[in-house]
Structure 1
Amino acid sequence: MGASGGGRARPGEVLLAAVAAVSWAFLAMAGVAALGLHLVGADGAGALGPMTAAAVVLAAGGSVIPSGDVEAFGLQGAQAHSAIDVVPLGIGLVGALLLGWVFVRSLRGAGAVIGGAELAARAGAVALLFLLVLAGLTWVGNDTVTIDAASLGLKGKPEQEGLLGKLPGELGDIADIGSGLLPDRIQRLIDAKAAVGFTVEAGRSVLGGAVWVVAVLLIAVLVARRAPMPRGLEAAHRTVRPAASALYGVLVLAVGAGLAAALYAAIGDDHPRLVLGSALLGAPNGVWLGVPLGLFVPWHGGASGALVRVLPDPLDKLLADEKDEPITVARLAELDGRVWLLAVACVLMILAAGVLTAVRTPVGRTSRAGFVGRCALWLGIVTALTLPLLVRLTGVSAGASLSVLGFDAFGAGIELHGNGPAALALGAGWGAAAGAAGALAAWATGAAGGQASRFALDSARGPAHGSAPGSRLNGA
């Protein structure tokens, strides 16, 4: 095919590329989900297959409804109510990386420019096949786990006396209170059964999956510096793509650093499998929550019950038994001064994105001021859009209660939500400042535009200029 992108891809080629992208993405997500759930011991309470399917659907924008029914003390109508709104980003990130990478690789044969119809056909084929597979998983991802108190060894084997048989002798006269009602009620407790199930909502899951796959493909096209663009959008090579690819790179690298830290922590931990499994499923959740927090985006939230224990120190101390507590770096630093290192790391990360943006942005015939302004503008725009997205993805809403005829026997919950408008404003400010600083540093060292893609250099040169692409003019 020529560089003009005038050739049309054959339907078989489009279908084959879609099958490759979708199959690799789902295989990777299923593998990470199954391994993570196995390491945290989830398969000890139920079948791993349906759990894996439900986790993949949840990671791909789907919706899973947990439900439960408890039968205790002979009372009917006791129900376990729960609500979960947590996306396992470790699963979703792996799928998004592979789906986007295979998709943009399939575009490179089109040359410098790809036809809008061909791009739409390729993306549509990937999205349609993705949703078909996701719909199949919504049918698989349903299961029920039954917990029988009798299976806990309280009754004892037929040849053994069991706990219930020992109670009258062990309790003495106390066992006769209420004409022997105490052992009788304990017998009812032992006979209690709890069924906890989860159901994938097919309609909402397919709709959420459609939004997810379209967003992944759009981001993949924006960050792929060596993939073609439709005619009329070639300017994206030298404007949005350098900034988007730079921020995307540092965010993925930050997740890699989080996984490395989890591996190091698992070495000396009493439960290394739990640490590794949790990291596989949720490392991006923790890392990407820390990025906006470290850039001073305010959060608010609370925690209660047993779920307080899953929060890292000092967040657990700040949120324990609170309903709507403001969360900032300064407040956390009052409990542990090392939290300021989070802010330092996040500032260094955004500065690294600024340098990468400048290195990947072609200079062309632009003056130093123009080059600095362009880098600041586009990294500011990209960061302003990215920080609210991270806030939305890493928000947590999880709660559970076990009610018996209106009496709350157990309650736990976590709420963590960031300020979206503040993330938008701070993202624009941090991105613009980092873009300007990175451009000045790259210009001073001669690295400006040094890693610009071929498409970006061609776009910057334009048909009217014959100078070497990316080269500076004297006196600029």
Structure 2
Amino acid sequence: MSPPTVSARPAARHGWPQAVGAVLTGLAVMIVVATLGLWAAGAAQLPDGAFPRVVAATLATAVGGSVELSGNAGALAQSRAGVTVIPLSVTLAGALVIGAGFLRPLRHRAVASAAELGGWAARLAVLWLLVLVGLALGARQTFAVDVGSGTLNDLAGLFNAAPRVGFTTDVPLTVLFGLLWLAGVLLLAVLVARGAPLPGRLLRFQESVRPAAHAMVVLLLAYVVIGLVIALITAATRGHAPATFALILLALPNLAWLALTLGLGATWDGRVDGPFGLPMPHVLDVLLRTRDVSTLNLRTLTDYDGRWWWLAVVDAILLLAVAFRTAVRSPARIRLWQHALHLGVALALTVLMICLTGRVSAHYGLSLLGIGDLGGGLSGELFLTPRLWQAVGLGALWGALAGLLGGLLALLVRRRVTAPQAP
């Protein structure tokens, strides 16, 4: 009797039905989060049944897609608009679900070939490509801008110059960056999950890469949880519940991870002008609403309210905690300088990711008969950009110090556990 065939089992466990389930589950979670967040923000009241298209545009930007804004106001007027922001709450929800779906069929495995992992990832990529094309084609709409009553409205009607602004997606860029986003999610899932299989040739790298990568994910999620608790307390005690829930469901990681970099000593430059504003905390709107570009860092925050120095304390506590946890879970042969190096590089890369995804830029303006930007709340600007290499350098320094201290604490714990007991 011939022996049972087992070679088909791995492929059967992660075939097309499993890929469809993983992609659709991730997409459904992202749609729910984006829909609830936009509804809380009041986007359901947009005219012309635009709400589903705004949801599609939000999902496209959440995975790195490009949304282009355009405007016109008839033959005698022009409008300009632009926005660059990633709703990281939607991004994080999709990344966690799709990453878990990618790893689920691979659990209880120690080793997997590169061809097997690549084939499983390719199935997800093909399906995700279809999702990206659908989002890019569906995310387009044009709105009429309410210019109010009075002279401005009369002129707009007289010259048939009612301003309109719309958005469309750059389909090639959305597909490209969306696929890169998926590749990053799958790669990070393999790096972070201790039970995920690796090709045999890469097993020797898991001791140096996987613990530090796992520590950074734990750190980022811990900041999101802390931000969620603070936001819920704020909603319960100070009101403005719809705006707070919109923030939670659309941009909570944007602010939580911004706080992480500020606690490290990083500096962000920004400005708020016109109708734009930052929903929470109020201090950001106050510090950035100036005529010139403002500086946002730990010094300016503590000048406004001395309690903000707690950001540095929270950073120190959480970093030391994840560094100690990483060192305890690492093999005893890993040296102190290696702990410092691994965590320093990991935190530097994490800060780089935050700086690249946490940038905010938005502007809108309307001119009539070629005469500048009209007032009355019809123009404004908001931007927030990091001093990139300063932030990355501080991340490397903090990470190295935390890795060293965490390794020392783990070494002391191991010595106490292994010390012979006195008779």
TM-based fold match above 0.5: yes
Q: State how far apart, in whole Å, the 1-side matches of 2:415 and 2:310 are.
A: 29
Please list, as runs of the form range in 1=range in 2, the aligned pairs for 1:362-381 lying within 5 A after superposition.
362-363=331-332, 366=333, 370-381=334-345
Q: Which runs of 5+ in 1 are unaligned?
A: 155-163, 165-181, 449-470
| Cα drift, residue 326 of structure 1 | 3.0
Cα offsets for 1:362-387 (capped at 9, x unmatched): 22xx2xxx532332221111112111
Following the alignment from structure 1 to structure 2, what is the Cα–Cα distance between the partners of residues 105 and 425? Answer: 36
Q: Partner residue of 1:172?
A: none
What are the residue-to-residue correspondences of 1:3-402 with 2, within 5 Å?
9-10=10-11, 13-46=14-47, 47-70=50-73, 76-109=75-108, 111-147=109-145, 185=154, 188=157, 193-308=162-277, 310=279, 312-363=281-332, 366=333, 370-402=334-366
Of 304-313 and 412-421, more deviation after overlay is shown by: 304-313
Q: Secondary structure at the match of 1:344?
A: helix
Match for 1:414: what amino acid? L
Amino acid at match of 1:377: L
Provide, for residues 211-243 of structure 1, a one-character-per-residue CA deviation record: whole Å limited to 9, x for no partner: 111111111111111111111111233221111
- AA aligned opposite 1:115: S
One-letter amino acid of the structure 2 residue matched with residue 243 of structure 1: A
Give a deviation string over 1:343-398, Cα, whole Å, max 9, x none: 211222211221221122122xx2xxx53233222111111211111111111111
Q: Report if the CA contact (8 A) 1:355-1:438 is conserved.
A: yes
The residue that corresponds to 2:3 in the other structure is: none
How far apart, CA to CA, are the structure 1 residues paired with 2:202 and 2:305? 49
- Count residues in correspondence: 409
Change (3 A) 1:352 1:388: same
The CA RMSD over aligned residues, in Å, is: 2.8
CA contact (8 A) 2:19 2:123 kept: yes
Q: What secondary structure, in the 3-state scheme, does the structure 1 residue paired with 2:86 have? A: coil
CA distance in 2, matches of 1:319, 1:148: 27
Query: Tell me, what secondary structure is at the counterpart of 1:238?
Result: helix
Q: How far, CA to CA, are the matches of 1:372 and 1:21 in structure 2?
A: 40
Contact 2:223 2:260 in 1 (8 A): no
Amino acid at match of 1:403: S
**Matched residues in 2 for 1:38 and 1:7: separation?**
46
Normalised TM-score (structure 1)? 0.79
Q: Is the 8 A contact 1:148 1:192 kept in 2?
A: no
Amino acid at match of 1:48: F
TM-score between the two structures when normalised by the length of structure 2:
0.89
**Alpha-carbon contact 1:8-1:118 (below 8 Å) kept:** no
Query: 1:401 is paired with a residue of what secondary structure?
Result: strand
What is the Cα deviation at residue 12 of structure 1? 7.7
SS of residue matched to 1:226: coil
Query: What is the distance in 1 between the residues matched to 2:419 and 2:169?
Result: 60
